Structure formats: structure tokens, C-alpha cells
Amino acid sequence: MPGRIRHILLLLAIASTIVSVHAQPAANRPLGAIPADGLPLAQIFDGGVPDPSVYLQHRNKVYFIWGSGHPKQPGNIVASRYFPSVRNPDRKRDIEWYKKNHPDWILYQADQTTPAYGYIYDFGGLVPLDVSNPAVRQYYLSEFILPAVQKGYRVVAMDNVDLGNWPGAAGRFVNGKWEQLYTGKKNDTAFQQSMISWIQFLADQLHPLGVAVAANIKASSAPMDVVLRMMQGADIWLDENGFTHTGKNITGKAWEWQRTILERIVPSKGYISINQIRGTMDQADPAQIEWVIANFLLLRGPQSLLAVTGFEKKAIYQEFHYRPELDISIGAPVEQAHPVQQVWTRRYQNGIVYVNPSPQDTARIAVPGGHWKTLNGSLKQKTLQLQPGSGMILIKE
């Protein structure tokens, strides 16, 4: 069956099965109804969660799953289908298959020999595809994404949508002749524009079906104006760096960069903040847990979700993680984040959040009048001392 006809028939099949997707368009509230109180959570992959009822058993619930194996989840949890962005998601269609069937779709590095894989796994690499090619975009949409939509997924999770050309992609072969597309260097404006237009293409195709696009975008992979253009093209920004990455707190200039982007994105976009704390979740330092929670509360928006996972050589995804500190109930925010000397703060209905992003300076702040407790118990002192790269949350007693 010709590809175009198959694509149209698949769209008709999808349309016939969609009765009601969301009360609002996918681009408006892609994560559904998120409570303003507490810590709304996200789950990162679910292959190690045998019983999804755990998502709803604590004070603060899971509302979104990045890369779920099942489109239907308990409650109103939104499940997304994982796709590796510019790489072919079907292992059976390996490099030899593409060389035989679509040789001009493969992206190569500058040596004109090495495929621009980016990642190499135990089984090899996923074939890097030239998504600047309209035929490749249509193929990826029809062959991989639309079948997932037909199964019931209402969000597609596009991984590694970085604006830095880290795989070293440079060009392709057309009818056996080399065609240069990019410089092969990390900062490449043509590569950046290709990635932005790829995500915009997906959004344009999927929004009429009530399907949103989530993108894992590294905030520091390009100049800020380029990063913001990319994020505006997606409905949900998955931030794998968060404020703690590979067990290390993000402070100083990197923290300021993160804050500036978040202030532009979270008022109108979905946001998933992944924070990889040092060690396993049950053994992690309480101070680092509080740092993560404080930063999330400081800068969260109406469609923001928190994901906390351990890190030991690599991130411990797939499993459901929870700790007593996550039971926090602080009410809704009553103001925006703002600085008080070197400390950033934000008031909530039932508490106050403080963050000291300095990598070297200790901060001191006066405790407001009233009775307060911290995540660890009652507060007696009248002055708080915030160590470098630390956060604190006060809750009304």
C-alpha cells in the first residue's frame, strides 16, 4: 500500500476511535488537571512498576508517565509513548535495512562513513535519520507515532531533542553522492533549525488529533533564544537536568540559566523536572531532598510536575520512588519567586520556600513571625542559616 494512502487511512482510523481526549486542546493542558497544592509527581519509565496503584497511594500522586508501556493508567494519569527523537525506534530496521531500503535517509558524521548514532547500546546503535527530509518525517509519523496514537496514547515523548549536535551529524548520501547538511560541530544553526522544525512538524500533525508533544531538551545545549524557540514548539518540556543532576546540585551561573528559562516556560507549558539525587532514594541525604523540593516549589507553574530518582553510576529510572518528605502540603503559591539578597524565596498559602543558589556563600535570613516547622520538625530559632547550594521549606504549624 502506498505510504500516503496508508497514512490517510491510519488518520481516519484514529479519528474514528477518539471520542473525547481532553476538556481542552492538547497544547493547553497537556498534563490534565494538576493540583496547585503539594508536589504533583511524574514517573520516569514504568518497566519496574508491577502495580501502578502505587502512584495513587500517597498524599502526593503521579499525574504523568514518561515512556509508559501502557496507554491506560489508573485515575487520570497521562501516559506517554517513548520515541528516540531523530533515531529509528525499531531495532529490526537496522543500518543494513536502511542501506537497502532508504540509504539516503541515514545521517553520517563528517568522515562520511560513521553513522551519527549518538548512543551505542549492547545491541548497537539506533539508525540516525535525517529529519530535515519531509519523506523521513512522514515515515516516522506514519510508521511509528500514529500507531501508538491509535492504541490510545495522548502524549508522545521525544527523547534527546538536544540543540547541540552531539552525535556529530554532518550529511547524507543521495543517489550515492555525498550531500553536506551540517558542519558536524556542536553549535550548528542549521542543525538547530532542523530540530526545531521537526518538533513543530509533529505538533502541527498531532494537535488536531488531541495529542501533545513532550520533548527532552537540554536547556544549556544552545543559546537561550534558540532553546526557548525549541521549547515553545513543544507542549511539555522534560528537563532531565533539573536542579540536581548525576547526584550534584546545580548552583551559581548554571542555576541562574535554569531559573531564567523556567520563568519563561512554566506559566504556559507543561514541565517535568527530573532530579537525580546522590545514591538510592531511601538512603539519600535529607538536605539534598529538601534542595530538590524547595527549587521545584520556588519555580513551579500550573502544569509542572516533579520526578526524583536515585543516581548510582546511572539514573535509577523505571522504579517508583517515594519518601516521607514528599508528603508535603503547603497550599497554593500566593506570589512569584523573587530574590531577597542572595536568597530566592516564594510564599505559599501555608508556608515559605527559600533557596540559596550560591556555590560558596552561606546566607542568613530572619524567620517571619508565627509558628513554623521544617520538613524535619518544629522550628525554634529566629534566624535561618542556609548553606551554599541548599534550600529550606517552612510550613505553618
User: Does an H or E element contain 341, and which?
Assistant: none
Note whether 208 and 307 are same-domain residues. Answer: yes
How many domains does the chain divide into? Answer: 2
- The residue among 270, 257, 256 whose CA lies nearest residue 357 is 256
Three-class SS state of 8: helix
Dist CA 293 CA 110 (whole Å): 43
Question: Which of residues 287, 303, 329 is at a domain's end?
Answer: 329
Dist CA 342 CA 359 (whole Å): 11
Dist CA 23 CA 233 (whole Å): 21
The three cell numbers locating residue 362: 552561606
- Give the length of the chain: 397
Dist CA 108 CA 198 (whole Å): 18
User: Band of the pLDDT at 92, cuts 50, 70, 90?
Assistant: very high
Three-class SS state of 294: helix
Q: Is residue 108 part of a domain?
A: no
Report the pLDDT value the prediction gives residue 8, as an integer from 0 to 100. 54
- The residue among 185, 262, 187, 207 whose CA lies nearest residue 231 is 262
In this structure, are residues 195 and 165 in contact, taking their beta carbons and an 8 Å threshold?
A: no
| pLDDT tens string 337-374 | 999 988 999 999 999 999 999 999 999 999 998 889 99
User: Band of the pLDDT at 224, cuts 50, 70, 90?
Assistant: very high
In this structure, are residues 39 and 293 in contact, taking their beta carbons and an 8 Å threshold?
A: yes
Question: Residue type for 282, please?
Answer: D
In this structure, are residues 79 and 72 in contact, taking their beta carbons and an 8 Å threshold?
A: yes
| pLDDT tens string 33-49 | 999 999 999 999 999 99
Average pLDDT on 177-187 reads 95
Q: Is residue 129 part of a domain?
A: yes
User: Band of the pLDDT at 76, cuts 50, 70, 90?
Assistant: confident
Question: Residue type for 82, please?
Answer: Y
Dist CA 211 CA 84 (whole Å): 17
Q: Which DSSP category does 145 fall into?
A: I
Q: Find the CATH number of the domain harbouring 59.
A: 3.20.20
Q: Is residue 218 part of a domain?
A: yes
Note whether 258 and 344 are same-domain residues. Answer: no
Question: Which of residues 310, 329, 348 is at a domain's end?
Answer: 329
